[in-house]
Structure 1
């Protein structure tokens, strides 16, 4: 992988507004109690059936997919800061409503709103980072945000179990409080960063531009393929481990390696990754993820599955650090938020396809074919992503010249 040819590779101090975003990500994830425990709350406290509770959780997921488009549109039209404020303050209110809802209609509506409002932040923060930082600084910045998310989530999964012992209702209030705190940080420390639109591009519609953007559309397909592989870790992997006679507790310990590796390794890898060719690093990271899951075809012990998780986690670190930077380089400046939203939606589509394809492949084809399929798909998206590298470099240079 070659070093970036342009720009100063020496890391520079990141601006105060970026660190405010980092704090928001950390605080928001530290309080992410409700979603992991939502099904348990609905079945235990609301006495709903498992199927109904799962459908309510799916409503949250539907909201998150819609949030990518809405958040991208809002961040380009109303502004990044306004979108983030709506996200955090609105999520706090939606969580309280969900926790107090008694009728099924209100539960459905508020669950969808929790997903919708809670994920408006993603395209807005990705666009803000691209606004604030030079292209050579973005990989390090996106990597640090990814680290904050995983650090916060690692703590929240432990503390949520403790809080839940005092009643699930407390989870809603604490989750809402952390969301409001994150909103206050945005209010006080993050200025609006949206570039002023040029006269000839003001108010441009997204779809006509995207329909002609073959490179972006291919990137979207590749992102769906990557997410399809990645979601096997949370859908097919526990079933495959059970088929090998390993307990759910063992799966929990094995998948916990994902968070441990990210928290420990990402800060050390971030500065090194920032010096590499971004499209090629993205391609290599996707390949590592595919091959990491492919190891499942030859392992049957807890430590073998652990090695598999460590391998694909290393690829995930590279992907998460660079994907936002690649899409930021690719996006027209006036459509940056909406391009980021479509990128997030593509990943969301993959999170829906992945569990369906993986679990059915496991049932009908067996584990060996399923994991080898992950490896083959990883090779395919690696070839596609690597082939797009020249076009992505050309687009990045064009956007930099027009900035």
Structure 2
């Protein structure tokens, strides 16, 4: 595999577009995120593919989606470790190329063992780029991080808005097109990384063998933040599994579901740049707390909805909360990380998303199937309130750590 030499600090910080003040590295990563997400049409429609094409029950389909999340957990830990050992760039290449192979395996699987294995493989590879890319941005000076993380999130969701609309159209012609589109996108993302993304790993970090576990176990603030964000992502990500079931249960077609879900990406594309300017100077802990509350309220309203308009409104509400979390997530965890463990800390931070990807589909589909939409709505509302209170309680400690790290 081709490797690139470590770039100098001057090259890392040289802006490609001076008026925005972001280095060329960030724009290259943004292009990778856009291509990968725009072609990432399988995951949003995976539960429908499993129930309609593979004829699995909703509970079994939710378990398979959770298996992808199990792989995600491994990918975040592995991605952070590899990012510190073999470099951010090489780790992203391994992830995108491996995802293409795993997607081909799932699309051709015709037995449950094959489906389970491919699902775990997708999770293990398709998110491998996340901690490596986050570590690359965390390697930047602190003053650039919020804008850089914001741009990456914006690019990913611009791609996501394209993917949801395109997926709804492609699905009407057969789910096979979804898999082929996703495979090509993964290969294209790998090509962008290979051609345009330089290595940012600090010189000598590959030789650093500091143990992660003893440091993290002593870091109570990091552990508390991980627990809260695992709960948040469980609440947030269950919506992507229960929303299509709720909508189809009310007689709404998959193409309409794709259009409603596209509101999520469109709202982020429009509002994310504004949110970065409005929220960058505000307290990150407070922003996160309010955002978690919004997600709980939006998810609860979605569970009680019956019309397309009501579902669309609920999506907009939890999207506002999602934007708030995204604006400060990477920057907050970057400030928590010791320099020598930056890749692995960002991997642990991303693992909270993966835990939510496992628990969210399981909890959401179980509540919906066994207790009904009203109970699901109640749990979402209570969860949002609890997360708000817990995150708000950590604000003083987060302020102190931010000052100490910078």
TM-score, structure 1 as length reference: 0.82
Aligned to 2:189: 182
Describe the shift of the 1:56–1:254 C-alpha distance in structure 2 as closer, same or farther (beyond 3 A): closer
Describe the shift of the 1:357–1:113 C-alpha distance in structure 2 as closer, same or farther (beyond 3 A): closer
Cα distance in 2 for partners of 1:316, 1:282 equals 9
Cα distance in 1 for partners of 2:62, 2:362 equals 15
Aligned to 2:123: 115
TM-score, structure 2 as length reference: 0.82
> Within 5 Å, which residues of 2 pair with 1:228-377?
228-237=234-243, 247=252, 254-295=260-301, 302-362=308-368, 367-377=373-383
Q: Confirm whether residue 206 of structure 1 aligns to residue 227 of structure 2.
A: no
* Deviation (angstroms), 1:329: 0.9
Aligned residues: 386
Aligned to 1:3: none
Cα distance in 1 for partners of 2:378, 2:172 equals 42
Q: Which moved more, 1:146-155 or 1:311-320?
A: 146-155
Describe the shift of the 1:275–1:298 C-alpha distance in structure 2 as closer, same or farther (beyond 3 A): same
1:265-304 deviations in Å (ceiling 9; x for gaps): 2222222222222222112211222233344688665544
Corresponding residue SS for 1:194: coil
Cα distance in 1 for partners of 2:361, 2:167 equals 25
CA contact (8 A) 1:68 1:344 kept: yes
Cα distance in 2 for partners of 1:168, 1:362 equals 25
> Within 5 Å, which residues of 2 pair with 1:139-158?
139-158=146-165
Cα distance in 2 for partners of 1:22, 1:366 equals 40
Describe the shift of the 1:370–1:162 C-alpha distance in structure 2 as closer, same or farther (beyond 3 A): closer
Aligned to 1:6: none
Q: Where in structure 2 are there 5+ consecutive unaligned residues?
A: 1-17
* Alignment counterpart, residue 100 of structure 2, candidates 65, 68, 92: 92
Q: Where in structure 1 are there 5+ consecutive unaligned residues?
A: 1-9
Cα distance in 2 for partners of 1:222, 1:103 equals 37
* Alignment counterpart, residue 81 of structure 1, candidates 70, 83, 89: 89
Corresponding residue SS for 1:193: coil
CA RMSD of aligned residues (A): 3.4
Aligned to 1:5: none
CA contact (8 A) 1:17 1:190 kept: yes
CA contact (8 A) 1:227 1:351 kept: yes
1:313-371 deviations in Å (ceiling 9; x for gaps): 11111111211111111111221222222222222222333344445545666645543
* Alignment counterpart, residue 386 of structure 2, candidates 348, 364, 380: 380
Aligned to 2:30: 22
Q: Which moved more, 1:72-81 or 1:94-103?
A: 94-103
* Deviation (angstroms), 1:36: 4.2
